[in-house]
């Protein structure tokens, strides 16, 4: 057990808070590097957007699995134990994903399993650090949780810029595995800061709340159920686009990772000043304003294509989503405090489960479907016919020929290009032709460039449609948070409940 006692050293609150922030940076670097490599994986391994969406989704819903299993154990096992497990998970997940380099013929399994390990490590960080921050600062939970969560977007900025720098250096033929290795840097730092530190008891333990009482407080509170439903939607609006922005914008020829860095840089700055907005508007007022701005940002992202306009849309979106996650946790901790670590963990579980299992894959499917409809049928079929002829017999070109044959067989029999398989065939052509060498490489590269010219604009349109897919959630959130805000006003304002030590 790592709970503090009279015989143990007093916890160093400042060191624990710093270590927690670095641990959160590890989770955000994991998030942004997986996002940054999704477009690259479609090209490198010829995977469909939907398949890569499942890999990206595993990097999220594993968080939910970890939260639902381990968050209730924070009281019993101690928060230090959970963070030690997270440390091991971040290292293991990174190495397993990188091992896909040696499984080029079947990369999906190591990519999926590694992403799942990373997500479970991320969930362990949240399962430990959210109740840790609440225990360290019981009188200022919402503001302190916002300051702690500065380092999720802050880490995305750091990891995103590092990933972009790796691309610009051009020192590696393949960069996706180098980007993943970035996760290890903050991981070793937080391991050093926290591995041997004494930790405080959770609020639930200090107040003498049993596991049964914690479950009862969580599942019998109507407000908790409303917040869980809202969390599924706020997490989808914040993290779904965050997962796909680099891939969707890169398909249109824009540096999507820089847009993601811009969004998260703004989020970090805004979260660091959360106290001002929370005190002026109240937590429910902040959530109401966030829902409205998020909807406007998504609508703009689905419409704009010019670089300046996209950054403007991203700015509105960042103002909308920046306070969602930490303020939702703060409201639970302040309004349903007896739910303890279970309540905080359950919020993260629901949010990440929906994003990983539903939102991220569904955005990929919407992109695949709409993007397919944008492909010019005759021109695409003609190009794949040339691939059958030009690529035949060339070294390492068999996958491109086989993919083209499969699409053309369907086209010749039905007169239509098959969904998903057509875009996947074009990706294989781009990958094979783009890496061709030798005297006869010119014709292969030319076909690869033409395939990219067909696929890129179609994928960009599909990506914008996927942003629009989330817009109804913002409308529902305006209604939910508007109702909570009006209820608070009618009751005389937002009221916090405090737990007394046993």
Which range, of 348-352, 392-396, 422-426, 436-440, averages the lowest pLDDT? 436-440
pLDDT of residue 37: 85
Instruction: Find the helix or strand (DSSP H, E) in which 148 lies.
Output: helix 141-148
Tell me how crowded residue 393 is: count the other CB atoms within 10 A of its CB. Answer: 9
Q: Is the pLDDT of residue 156 over 70?
A: yes
Closest CA relative to residue 436, chosen from 393, 465, 378, 397 = 397
Per the model's pLDDT, the better-predicted residue between 444 and 453 turns out to be 453
What's the pTM value of the predicted model, to 2 decimals? 0.78
- Tell me if residue 424 falls in helix, strand or coil: helix
Most confident stretch, 254-263, 348-357, 468-477: 468-477
pLDDT of residue 278: 85
Q: Is the pLDDT of residue 2 over 50?
A: no
Q: Is the pLDDT of residue 46 over 80?
A: no
Helix H, strand E, coil C: the string for 60-118 is HHHHHHHHHHHHHHHHHHCHHHHHHHHHHHHHHHHHHHHHHHHCCCCCHHHHHHHHHHH
Q: Supply the DSSP symbol for 199.
A: B
pLDDT of residue 173: 61
Tell me what percent of the residues of the chain surpass a pLDDT of 90. 44
pLDDT of residue 92: 97
Q: Supply the DSSP symbol for 12.
A: -
First CA to last CA distance, the chain: 20
pLDDT of residue 389: 86
pLDDT of residue 436: 61
Angstrom distances, CA of residue 413 to CA of 406, 408, 418? 11, 8, 11
Closest CA relative to residue 475, chosen from 301, 316, 295, 321 = 295
- The band of 435, judged by pLDDT with boundaries at 50, 70 and 90, is low
- The band of 274, judged by pLDDT with boundaries at 50, 70 and 90, is confident
Is the CB of residue 270 less than 8 Å from the CB of residue 319?
yes
- What is the average per-residue pLDDT within 471-500? 91
Q: Which residue has the tokens 């429910």?
A: 284
pLDDT of residue 167: 81
pLDDT of residue 348: 86
pLDDT of residue 193: 94
- What is the average per-residue pLDDT within 379-405? 85
The rounded mean pLDDT for the chain is 87
pLDDT of residue 106: 79
- What is the average per-residue pLDDT within 6-25? 81
Q: Is the pLDDT of residue 172 over 80?
A: no
- What is the average per-residue pLDDT within 388-399? 78
Tell me how crowded residue 413 is: count the other CB atoms within 10 A of its CB. Answer: 8
Q: Is the pLDDT of residue 502 over 60?
A: no
Give the angle 327-331-332 at the CA atoms, nearest 5°: 120
Give the Cα separation of 173 and 349 in Å (integer).
Answer: 38
Q: What is the pLDDT of residues 366-376, one digit of tens each?
A: 998 999 999 99
pLDDT of residue 439: 62
- Name residues whose C-beta falls within 8 Å of residue 71's C-beta, 6 or more positions apart in sequence: 127, 341, 342, 344, 345, 346, 348, 349
Q: What is the pLDDT of residues 289-321, one digit of tens each?
A: 999 999 999 999 999 888 899 999 999 999 999
Structure tokens at 5: 């006692």
pLDDT of residue 253: 79
> How is domain 13-372+470-490 classified at the CATH fold level?
Growth Hormone; Chain: A; (1.20.1250)
Per the model's pLDDT, the better-predicted residue between 55 and 490 turns out to be 490
- The band of 7, judged by pLDDT with boundaries at 50, 70 and 90, is very low
pLDDT of residue 6: 40
- The band of 1, judged by pLDDT with boundaries at 50, 70 and 90, is very low
Q: Is the pLDDT of residue 364 over 80?
A: yes
Q: What is the pLDDT of residues 107-138, one digit of tens each?
A: 888 999 999 999 999 999 998 998 899 888 88
Q: Any bridge partners for residue 199, and if so which? A: 3
Q: Is the pLDDT of residue 494 over 50?
A: yes
Structure tokens at 167: 């691309």
pLDDT of residue 356: 80
Is the CB of residue 179 less than 8 Å from the CB of residue 166?
yes
- Any idea where the domains of the chain sit in the sequence? 13-372+470-490, 375-460
Closest CA relative to residue 87, chosen from 197, 202, 177, 239 = 197
């Amino acid at each position: 057990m790592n709970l503090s006692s009279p015989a143990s050293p007093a916890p160093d609150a400042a060191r624990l808070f710093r270590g927690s922030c670095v641990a959160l940076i590890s989770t955000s670097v994991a998030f942004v590097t997986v996002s940054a490599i999704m477009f690259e994986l479609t090209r490198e391994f010829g995977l469909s957007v939907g398949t890569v969406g499942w890999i990206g989704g595993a990097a999220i819903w594993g968080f939910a699995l970890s939260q639902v299993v381990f968050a209730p154990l924070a009281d019993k096992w101690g928060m230090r134990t959970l963070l030690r497990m997270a440390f091991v998970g971040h290292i293991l997940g990174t190495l397993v994903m990188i091992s896909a380099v040696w499984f080029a013929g079947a990369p999906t399994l190591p990519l999926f399993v590694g992403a799942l390990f990373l997500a479970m490590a991320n969930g362990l960080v949240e399962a430990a650090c959210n109740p840790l921050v609440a225990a360290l600062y019981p009188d200022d939970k919402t503001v302190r949780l916002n300051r702690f969560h500065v380092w999720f977007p802050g880490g995305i900025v750091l990891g995103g810029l590092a990933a972009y720098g790796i691309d610009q250096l051009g020192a590696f033929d393949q960069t996706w595995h180098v980007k993943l290795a970035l996760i290890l840097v903050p991981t070793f730092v937080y391991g050093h800061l926290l591995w041997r530190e004494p930790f405080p008891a959770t609020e639930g333990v200090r107040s003498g709340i049993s596991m049964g009482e914690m479950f009862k407080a969580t599942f019998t509170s109507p407000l908790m159920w409303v917040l869980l439903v809202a969390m599924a939607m706020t997490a989808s609006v914040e993290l779904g686009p965050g997962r796909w922005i680099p891939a969707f914008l890169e398909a249109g020829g824009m540096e999507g990772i820089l847009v993601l860095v811009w969004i998260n840089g703004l989020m970090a700055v805004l979260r660091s000043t959360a106290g001002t907005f929370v005190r002026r508007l109240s937590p429910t007022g902040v959530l109401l304003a966030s829902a409205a701005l998020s909807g406007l940002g998504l609508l703009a992202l689905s419409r704009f294509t010019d670089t300046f306009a996209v950054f403007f849309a991203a700015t509105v979106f960042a103002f909308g989503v920046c306070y969602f996650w930490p303020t939702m946790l703060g409201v639970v901790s302040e309004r349903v405090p007896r739910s303890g670590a279970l309540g905080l963990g359950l919020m993260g579980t629901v949010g990440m489960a929906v994003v990983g299992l539903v939102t991220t894959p569904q955005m990929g499917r919407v992109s695949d479907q709409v993007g397919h409809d944008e492909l010019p049928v005759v021109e695409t079929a003609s190009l794949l016919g040339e691939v059958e002829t030009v690529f035949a017999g060339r070294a390492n070109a068999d996958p491109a020929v086989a993919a083209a044959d499969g699409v053309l067989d369907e086209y010749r029999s039905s007169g239509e290009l098959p969904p998903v398989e057509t875009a996947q065939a074009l990706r294989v052509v781009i990958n094979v032709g783009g890496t061709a060498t030798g005297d006869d490489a010119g014709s292969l590269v030319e076909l690869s460039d033409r395939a990219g010219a067909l696929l890129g604009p179609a994928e960009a349109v599909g990506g914008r449609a996927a942003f629009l897919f989330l817009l109804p959630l913002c409308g529902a959130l305006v209604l939910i948070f508007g109702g909570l805000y009006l209820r608070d006003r009618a009751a005389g304002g937002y009221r916090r409940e405090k737990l007394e030590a046993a």
